[in-house]
Chain A
């Protein structure tokens, strides 16, 4: 991890600690978002950390962003942080110009381009109602392209995921294309990996928080005259949580390190699949240990567990990556599986 990343993460955590109360997170449920926190991040240009200096950035890399996403997941901050920053990073990677407006990103195929204009119904677009532009993937003459369109004239139907985060339906009607870049299959793979890695970072952040909340609760709450953590079956829950948290964290750190060197297809895939299992265990054990108070709206726990249940279904999911891995195993040329596994590590 770079020194810059350490400083960055500490700075952001300080901002979140100060500004992101439970109420700020709750705002998303009534259709709002943490615009004030977003203002701090954009004014301080933290969101530009991974952009090149010529684009007004700090010349960081994808792992600096992953640090930002991780901590944002840990505080459940309702802001389009992944979307805006990844949209710009992808534009930059295509040789394009990052936008100064807020953009969101959506990488499911389906947009058609005709006569230089984009037409499509795009479902589950994160934060569309709060941003001005969209970066997405389109097929032009059987070739994939990254396109950058304005949402100014788009029809936006408000929709939300399990955690009440905006996942709007966007109808593009001959939308004006601001930028358009054909991409190779390799580049497409890189972008799917970045997008998945971003979501993984956020999920690991939420897992860390659920783990922390639960351990703390077992120390505070007493029944039968002793704290919950003294009961052996509760200890078993703690051990399961700690195990999955450690696995998730190790996967995340190794995935990040691999992304510094390239596409990291294997590491991104494995991490996503691991997190799927981690989420199942972590959300179940955390709720069981918190019991009734944990299923109230009043309590913070659901701000994280609902997000985990929502995020695991979005973008390139574990089942997408399982298929990809099955294919990788089928086509691997190494003489056996162990040789294949150890060829990367």
Chain B
């Protein structure tokens, strides 16, 4: 598996500095506080609007929809800075990361014109409607169904674990548009854009283990979805969903969810002049460096239309374990008393990293499932 070596240009370094400076200013003004895992658990629509005003959502998309036609690497730099700053970008994250690219690839012109400019403004958010109560890893077994009626589809069933659905306006929802066939369960699946405020949609929050809202259960009771809200081909939902997963799995958010903690740890060990502890930290830094290179390489191949399912699964499986390892190593190197409301930043980041950690290796495909994908890919290629 050979990935390209990417070197950022002078303009790209400049862009990084600009984003960093903006985020530092926002933080100084009290617009947000740095948190671990803020890209998924830090939903803040007001902040997303500000990011939209900066022109920093959908920056790779065509100008005619309001995008800036920047490169995938520019976007990589942008979101790395969001992650490093622990900024609350969850509200628009999914729309920026995968809904936009999905619509650009498979959507109709009307869909692009309707949704992309709104997403870019930071005022239109999407949720991911895949998992169901009885279908997690075995996603192709879903049972939410859509029946054809005049002018559209009637949807019945439910989704669950839907992150930030309470703030989202729409959900790309995987449904069965043909009867279930146990011998070909990947067939007959389609992606629908469901308006989460439509009649018949009920959203019930599920509290995360911290007690805070994070994900939701969503029930559909004869929800009408017009024909023009089908994405791509009818029955092509599985293939389209797989394409989305490459975007979902290989990005820097699979490496940097606990970066604020690593930053703070290094700051503290430096202040202590603790050379021995910093030698341990060097192992984390080396791994981070290598993972970044891998992930940036994948981003480059993905941008050129290459096949990255296996390396993306690799990045996610290794990267999320790395994210989880940071608090475990940090607690051995310095005294901490983790608390979500602690004054001391290190204690707070520790608490966030520990409490959000278990989800890292589950969401977006569990590590076990990813290992299967990697092994099968490798065996087929070697």
A residues neighboring B (CB under 8 Å): 212, 215-216, 218-219, 229, 232, 234-236, 238-239, 242-243, 245-247, 249-251, 253-254, 256-257, 266-267, 269-274, 277, 319, 321-323, 325-327, 329-330, 336-339, 341-342, 345
Task: Verify A325–B285 contact, CB threshold 8 A.
Answer: yes
The interface residues of chain B lying within 8 Å CB-to-CB of A242 are 1, 310, 314, 374-375, 378
Task: Verify A337–B374 contact, CB threshold 8 A.
Answer: no
Answer whether residue B28 sits at the interface, using C-beta atoms and an 8 A cutoff.
no
Task: Verify B288–A341 contact, CB threshold 8 A.
Answer: yes
Interface centre among B266, B283, B375, B379 (most CB of A within 10 A): B375
The interface residues of chain B lying within 8 Å CB-to-CB of A326 are 275-276, 278-279, 281-282
Q: How far is the CB of B178 from chain A (nearest CB, A)?
A: 31
Whether A274 contacts B266 in the complex (CB less than 8 A), given A243-B314, A257-B7, A322-B279, comes out as no
Whether A327 contacts B275 in the complex (CB less than 8 A), given A243-B314, A250-B294, A341-B285, comes out as yes
**DSSP majority for the B interface?**
helix
Whether A250 contacts B297 in the complex (CB less than 8 A), given A243-B317, A273-B282, comes out as yes
Q: How far is the CB of B189 from chain A (nearest CB, A)?
A: 26
Answer whether residue B293 sits at the interface, using C-beta atoms and an 8 A cutoff.
yes
Q: How far is the CB of B270 from chain A (nearest CB, A)?
A: 6
Q: How far is the CB of A221 from chain B (nearest CB, A)?
A: 13
Whether A337 contacts B283 in the complex (CB less than 8 A), given A216-B382, A229-B375, A254-B293, comes out as no
Selected contact of B3 from candidates A250, A273, A345, CB within 8 Å = A250
A345 to B12, CA, bound (A): 10
Whether A215 contacts B378 in the complex (CB less than 8 A), given A273-B283, A337-B267, comes out as yes
Q: Please name the residue on chain B nearest to A345 by beta carbon.
A: B8
A249 to B80, CA, bound (A): 23
Q: What are 17 A-B contacts defined by CB distance under 8 Å? A: A235-B371, A236-B375, A238-B378, A239-B378, A242-B310, A245-B1, A246-B1, A254-B5, A267-B289, A269-B282, A272-B286, A319-B279, A325-B279, A330-B275, A338-B84, A339-B20, A341-B289
Q: Please name the residue on chain A nearest to B294 by beta carbon.
A: A250
Whether A249 contacts B5 in the complex (CB less than 8 A), given A270-B286, A338-B263, comes out as no
Task: Verify A342–B16 contact, CB threshold 8 A.
Answer: yes
Selected contact of A329 from candidates B8, B266, B293, B318, CB within 8 Å = B266
Given A243-B317, A245-B1, A249-B3, 17 further pairs, Cβ under 8 A: A234-B375, A235-B375, A238-B378, A238-B379, A239-B314, A239-B317, A242-B374, A243-B374, A250-B290, A250-B293, A270-B285, A329-B266, A329-B285, A337-B262, A337-B263, A337-B266, A342-B80
Selected contact of A215 from candidates B266, B282, B379, CB within 8 Å = B379
Task: Verify A270–B1 contact, CB threshold 8 A.
Answer: no
The interface residues of chain A lying within 8 Å CB-to-CB of B288 are 341
A216 to B263, CA, bound (A): 42
A338 to B292, CA, bound (A): 12
Q: How far is the CB of B354 from chain A (nearest CB, A)?
A: 20
A273 to B290, CA, bound (A): 10
Task: Verify B267–A336 contact, CB threshold 8 A.
Answer: yes
Q: How far is the CB of A208 from chain B (nearest CB, A)?
A: 11
Query: Nearest 8 A-B pairs (CB), nearest first?
Result: A235-B375, A273-B286, A325-B282, A326-B278, A239-B371, A238-B375, A270-B286, A239-B374
Task: Verify A215–B297 contact, CB threshold 8 A.
Answer: no
